[in-house]
Amino acid sequence: MENEHQLELPEILLPFKEKLLATLQHFIEIIPTEEKVLKPWQSRFGGNPYLPLESSFPTTPDGETLFFLGQINFGETPALAPFPETGIIQFFIFDDQLFGQDTENPFSQSGFRVVYFPEVIEEEGQLQSDFSFLRKYGDLPVYPGECFGMEFSLEKELVPIEDNAFSQLMGNDFFEQFGEEQWPLYEMYNTAVSSDGHKYGGYSHFAQEDPREAENPFVLLCQFDTDNDIESMWGDMGTAHFFIKEDDLKAKDFSKVWFHWDCY
């Protein structure tokens, strides 16, 4: 059920086909690859970050180095408004039990960091290459030292049940109108329509519930998922999200990002 050509519905849902198709959104799927990442400015999961000589490696307020989760070079991705078309964005987390998430102040980048370089230097002599200063890390959702490349694909998806957008677009009691059929239909839709995986833009996947409020919308800046292929595990089969206001994204202001993750 990822696009209009694959939308197959039971007869009872056919009257809602056009309304469901109207929820289609574009997103960028991020596919891990095992190809060796050769250049510091290339997109990647893990490894070492792109870091100009004059830049500092992100740390906590106490000076402990954060862990480099990954980076996206927008020059390597399909275009998707309102995301940048150039530059590198990086994601760092802490190695405590919550991976740097602050449940009381989710915008506090003391336990995580989002860094954006609008201009990309493609001269290795002007970039840091010695990361021997990094400390030994503790609890993490991935193994330190592992590095995987990224490929990108522009895709479309229908609104999933776990994203708050479903109730906003289809109604809080959408499935209740089907009486005894509501739970079988709910399970059918929930199984067929998913927003899991590594991605940016589009809808979000949650193990528990969407923490965002309808009156206070946020864009999915990036989603990192549990993934056996890269030995990534966010708690018990969980998913990590970085959210941002659309106006901040358009302004390329990544100082007010919301870091959230949940698991089963």
pTM, two decimal places: 0.94
Burial class of residue 150 in the structure, from the number of CB atoms within 10 Å of its CB (0-12 exposed, 13-18 middle, 19+ buried): buried
Distance of alpha carbon 19 from alpha carbon 22, whole angstroms:
5
Encode the chain (264 residues) as per-residue pLDDT tens digits: 444 446 678 888 889 989 999 999 999 999 999 988 899 999 999 999 999 999 999 999 999 999 999 999 999 999 999 999 999 999 999 999 999 999 999 999 999 999 999 999 999 999 999 999 999 999 999 999 899 999 999 999 999 999 999 999 999 899 999 999 999 999 999 988 999 999 999 999 999 999 999 888 999 999 999 999 999 999 999 999 999 999 999 999 999 999 999 999
Q: Show the CA angle centred on residue 206, arms to residues 203 and 82, nearest 5°.
A: 25
CA distance 166 to 189: 12
Q: Which residues pair with 67 in a beta bridge?
A: 93
* Eight-class DSSP state of 55: P
- Tokens 């309808």 belong to residue: 214
Q: What is the CA radius of gyration of the chain?
A: 19
Domains and CATH numbers, the chain: 11-47+59-120+139-262 (2.30.320.10)
